[in-house]
Amino acid sequence: MTSESSAALFARASKLAAGLGLAPLTKTAVGGGSDGNLTAGMGVPTLDGLGAVGGGAHADDEHVVVAEIPGRTALLAALIADVIAEGE
């Protein structure tokens, strides 16, 4: 996934996060597989990593920061609503 292909979607999510009073979103590029690779490969702007905040993915110390779940859920809901509203 190239960051350029999803720059506008990332900017939209960042603006919504700020409006919700959430910490600024950060960008990162990592190797590996993701379902997002399928949509990005089709040319669909794709953000990966909108799930739970935590660490240690797929390891014995994998964890989720429970306090972050409401904010992350609100951001995802706002982003979905914003994208749908654009299509109307």
Q: Per-residue confidence at 1, pLDDT binned at 50, 70, 90?
A: low
pLDDT at 38: 84
Q: DSSP string spanning 5-36?
A: GGHHHHHHHHHHHHHTTPPPP------S--TH
pLDDT at 51: 84
23-81 pLDDT, tens digit each: 999 887 766 677 787 888 888 888 888 888 899 988 999 999 999 999 999 999 999 99
**Domain residue spans in the chain?**
4-87
Could you say which architecture CATH assigns to the domain 4-87?
Orthogonal Bundle (1.10)
